[in-house]
């Protein structure tokens, strides 16, 4: 299966439904490439902690940029110093490769 670098360099493909969600095995294989991310109820998620609210909001804005470029949008829960990011593909009622591509891109936002 692809590694995070390969996933990060890919782009989301339009998904209007009509395809099955990833199998549990395929999702688990891709999850292995995303440290700290978990699968919960057909959702891919991770909570990121920051030093202050300003950093949390800057991260949210960076995620918005990724979402716009990939045309694939997460559910975000913003706290004072934390941001929970949840991905799933609504059109298929489960996970697609797009979710893992975007999660890898979000993860890369914090690599410096």
Q: What is the pLDDT of residues 32-47, one digit of tens each?
A: 999 999 999 899 999 9
| Structural domain total, the chain | 1
Q: Give the residue with greater pLDDT, 55 vs 111.
A: 55
**Helix, strand or coil, per DSSP, at residue 69:** helix
pLDDT of residue 109: 94
Strands 75-78 and 43-49: what pairing?
Answer: unpaired
CATH assignment at residue 34: 3.30.1360.20
Chain segment 13-72, per-residue pLDDT in tens:
767 777 899 999 999 999 999 999 999 989 999 999 999 999 999 999 999 999 999 999
> H helices then E strands: how many in the chain?
4, 4
Q: The tokens of 6 are what?
A: 């390969």
Which range marks the domain in which residue 78 is found?
4-9+23-109
Q: Report if residue 79 sits inside a domain.
A: yes
Distances (CA, A) of 58 to 12, 40, 105: 23, 26, 15
């Amino acid at each position: 299966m692809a590694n995070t670098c390969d996933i990060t360099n890919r782009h989301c493909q339009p998904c209007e439904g009509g395809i099955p969600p990833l199998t549990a095995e395929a999702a688990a294989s891709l999850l292995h490439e995303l440290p700290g991310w978990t699968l919960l109820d057909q959702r891919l998620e991770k909570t990121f902690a920051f030093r202050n609210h300003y950093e949390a909001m800057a991260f949210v804005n960076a995620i918005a940029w990724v979402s716009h470029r990939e045309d694939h949008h997460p559910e975000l829960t913003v706290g004072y110093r934390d941001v929970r990011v949840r991905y799933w593909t609504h059109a298929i009622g489960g996970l697609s490769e797009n979710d893992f591509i975007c999660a890898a891109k979000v993860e890369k936002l914090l690599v410096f």
